[in-house]
Amino acid sequence: MARINLLPWRAERRKQRQKEFGVMAALSALAAVIVSFLIVSYYNGQISGQNTRNDYLRAQIVEVDKQIAEIEELDRKKGKLLARKEVIEELQANRSQMVHLFDSLVRTIPDGVVLTAIKQDAQTLTLTGRSQSNSRVSTYMRNLEGSGWMTKPDLSIIEAKGSDKGLPYEFSLQVQLANPNAPVDEDGDGIPDQPAAMTGDAAVEGGEGEEAPSLLAPVDAQGAAPAADGADAAAPAEGSDAYPAPAPGGNGAPAADADTTDAAGTEAAAPATGAAS
């Protein structure tokens, strides 16, 4: 016998499905919320950590900037101290330069040479004077080269003039000033590697009891110049051609070398000089 179901089963099944759908939708929404919360929490943690690292880096940058400023200030102070040190060393090295310079000028003048003028322009010293012969000027230039305080002697002019028979030749030469006690900078970094020697005024050669002769020696009545007491006894032979003398001036005087030295090293003075002695 056939059974006929007259109950509204379709409506009940529809309600059941709707109920199941609501539960699934609620579970899905809950899962989505949970996943979203986890994702947001993760990225918030990452952002917070990065912000913390950024704050730390910014604080370290501020500290480094302070250290850089301190280093720059120290560099400026170091530069000022080095500049002051160089000035002090230069002053220390040049403290007695003029004393040594004039002492060297006196000691390098040979017999038969007198100076009439001295002019300094920066590190160039111009010496003007008179001499008995060209060879005396050559000897004087060799003495200047070996003095240590003057280098590179350069003869500008030498000419014979008849106004003074004892010292007929007028000359003018230039030398470069040098300082053996100056600081040495071998590596070129601007800082002297070897400090200047502590040279005082008492270190002038010749001692305290030695009287230095006058640079500008007068000419006596007979036209002869007195011999300089400070003449260098170890001067090279006057006849050497280490500094060849130029031809005389245009007054017709012959090329000079009338003076010679004998075997004992004594110079044969001109007649006028002998009369003056």
3-state secondary structure 41-81: HHHHHHHHHHHHHHHHHHHHHHHHHHHHHHHHHHHHHHHHH
| Percentage above 90 pLDDT, the chain | 25
Whether 115 contacts 128, CB under 8 Å? yes
Comparing 166 with 207, the larger pLDDT belongs to 166
Cα dihedral angle (53, 55, 60, 66), rounded to 10 degrees?
A: 170
What per-residue confidence (pLDDT) applies to 208?
37
pLDDT surpasses 50 at 251: no
Q: What is the mean pLDDT of residues 107-129?
A: 80
Average pLDDT, the chain: 69
d(CA 231, CA 218): 16
Q: pLDDT grade, residue 9 (50/70/90)?
A: confident
- CATH fold of 97-258, please? Gyrase A; domain 2 (3.30.1360)
Torsion of CA 41, 46, 48, 52, to 10 degrees: 160
Between 241 and 106, where is the model more confident? 106
Greatest mean pLDDT among 192-196, 222-226, 249-253, 257-261 lies in: 192-196
pLDDT at 102 over 50: yes
Q: Which residues contact 235 (CB under 8 A, 6 or more apart)?
A: 110, 139, 142, 143
158 has pLDDT over 70: yes
Contact by Cβ (8 Å): 127, 229? no
- Position with higher pLDDT, 173 vs 54: 54
pLDDT for res 217: 41
- pLDDT of amino acid 190: 52
> In the prediction, which pLDDT does 185 show?
56
Q: Express each pLDDT in 24-82 by its tens digit.
A: 999 999 999 999 999 999 999 999 999 999 999 999 999 999 999 999 999 999 999 99
CA atoms within 13 A on the CB side of 123: 9
Q: How far apart are CA 174 and CA 150, in angstroms?
A: 10
Q: Please write the tens of the pLDDT for every residue from 125-140.
A: 788 888 888 788 888 8
More reliable by pLDDT, 123 or 224:
123
pLDDT digits (tens, 9 = 90+) for 182-238: 555 555 555 555 544 444 333 333 333 344 343 334 444 334 444 444 334 334 444
- pLDDT at position 109 over 50: yes
What is the DSSP-derived secondary structure letter of residue 213? Answer: P
Of 114, 95, 92, the residue nearest 105 (C-alpha): 114
Q: Length of the chain in residues, anyone?
A: 277
The position carrying tokens 């070897």 is 194
Instruction: Name which of 217, 221, 239 is nearest 229 in CA terms.
Output: 217
The Cα–Cα gap between 237 and 261 comes to 8
Nearest Cα residue to 105 out of 194, 30, 213:
213
User: Where do runs of H (alpha helix) occur along the chain?
Assistant: 9-93, 97-108, 134-145, 271-276
Least trusted range by pLDDT, from 41-45, 155-159, 270-274: 270-274
What confidence score (pLDDT) does residue 191 get?
52
